[in-house]
Structure 1
Amino acid sequence: MHTSGPEKNAAVIEIVSKSFNEKLSKNYKEAFQNFAERINSGQSHALDADVAAKQNIDISLQNPATITAAVGENDKELLGYIKNSTLKQQAEMCLKTLQN
């Protein structure tokens, strides 16, 4: 089932942005716009819905069941990083990502 997720996300982000009062706008508008641009641009790089569905079904049929599973290359890279890095390295990466 295709649900037009990227369009729905963009619409909700727009609604939230327009609902900011003067104080919220002054304090958070720039950061929220940055967030909105990043999430909307990331939506276009998402894993195809049919591919993701097939991978999820394949994972659910594994016996014995897996505790963690990656769907798509980004997930595989992220899980690999988490397995092979310290909490300090992970925190540093989060801070670096938030600063970009």
Structure 2
Amino acid sequence: MPAAIDLPHPDRDDITLEGVLFALSDSERLAIARELRVGPLDAVNCVPWDPSMPKSTKSHLMKVLREGGVIRSVPNGRNRTLSLRRDDLDARFPGLLDAILDADH
């Protein structure tokens, strides 16, 4: 199996408020962001998913977060390392990320 490819991520200046809010509006995607708050994780070890959830659904959750500028997904051999783009989000929208991640759930 080939190594994972690098995926496109929006530049800091291209991250929009609408994109971030949409990415974090889903409870599954919000759970991923909350889990990444403690630091980067391998994608295979991330989030408390239902084991019966299709791989395509999991990939879509990650894609929305990545395209919204919330996470960075970096190839790591045949896997991916996911991290929260805290510095970029705090620079663009100070306090927003903490307000969302700290909200009651």
Give the shorter-chain TM-score range: under 0.3
Bigger proportion of residues as strand: 2
TM-score (norm 1): 0.23
Higher relative contact order (CA 8 A, sep 6+): 2
TM-score normalised by length of structure 2? 0.22
Larger Rg belongs to:
1
Higher helix share: 1
